[in-house]
Amino acid sequence: MVWHLADMRRGLVVFLSLCCAALPGRADEARLFGYVGVECGLDDGRTADVVEGGYTAEVTAFSNLNMVCVSEDPELTATRMRRVAAAGDTVLLNVQPALFDFHPLGVTPSPVRDQLWPLVIEGIRQSGVPVKDIILYVVDEPALRKLPLAAVEEAIAYVRQTYPGIRTMAIDYRDATYDVIPKGLTYWGFFDYFHRDPGAVPNYVAALDRAQAMLGPDQGLVMVMDAHLMWMHEERGFVPEDMAGIARAYGALALARPEVAVVMAYTWAGGIDYEGEKGVRDMGPAVMQAHREVGLALIGE
């Protein structure tokens, strides 16, 4: 799973104070649920109904959190944010291209951060979306890409100079994580794909238990739902129809774990990692219906 701009479409050249927001992970609250790459300028070329303006309209009925990718054009960032916010969904704003550089050997802090960050600020300002309705996606797979823990924490401190208390998120890989959750992260999680029922996989459940033990009082866990079909799935014998049951298995596990505050599905549109990759919208009515059912259960509707 890769969420930074350089990798989307091989790629996609893709909080007010916490005291005022719902505490993550409480069992009596609905989860946040949504999709990666919803408003990122990504066209899913595998279907006839290519959507150039984003996919918010397709998913908003059963989601309440969807990803927006920042652009060097603040007006475009603002337009994307307004689409998600107008649908009543929380904006997961992917700001990592303004904070970090990604390259084959890993990820490093951006040397031009001070020039790029004002473009993000201006996009947020033009959008009119209240800060309480925004979560900043700070960095993807930092431990896997050998980014020092201190660099993640420094980036969080940097964005909070502008937006004190804003909610933040980062995702890593199950077997490549830090020994602690970076300070200042509101939501942290891991991805681990190719399981028909993750709740029946001991290593997956052990990783959830470890993450739960690491969470601070104002932190919640993100569960990344396997919702795409690529060649590595096919090598393991998965077919599109299997992804309906997989979505239900992730949903059931999330609902059984009160520390899970967010479920992010990767992904609605196809073609994020490579041209032949399928997203939920490419896998047929049964898979889309399963996502609708799971989404509604997770967001409490």
Token pair of 149 as six digits: 């823990």
Spell out the domains of the chain, with CATH numbers in brackets: 5-18+30-299 (3.20.20.80)
Evaluate whether 136 touches 167 at the Cβ level (below 8 Å): yes
Give the pLDDT score at 48. Answer: 61
Q: What is the structure's pLDDT at 106?
A: 86
CA distances from 166 to 68, 181, 183 (A): 16, 17, 13
Task: Check residue 44 and give its pLDDT.
Answer: 84
pLDDT value of position 16: 24
What integer pLDDT is reported at residue 73 of this predicted model? 97
Output the pLDDT for position 76: 96
Write down the pLDDT at residue 273: 86
User: Are β-strands 106-109 and 32-35 bridged in parallel, bridged antiparallel, or unpaired?
Assistant: unpaired
The pLDDT assigned to 47 comes to 66
- Single pTM value for the model: 0.90
Q: What DSSP line would sit under 181-231, residue for residue? A: PPTT-SEEEEE----S-GGG-HHHHHHHHHHHHH--TT-EEEEEEE--B-H
Nearest alpha carbon to residue 222 among 180, 257, 187, 178: 187
Instruction: Check residue 13 and give its pLDDT.
Output: 31
Q: Which residues of the chain fall below pLDDT 50?
A: 1-28
Tokens of 195: 């399981």
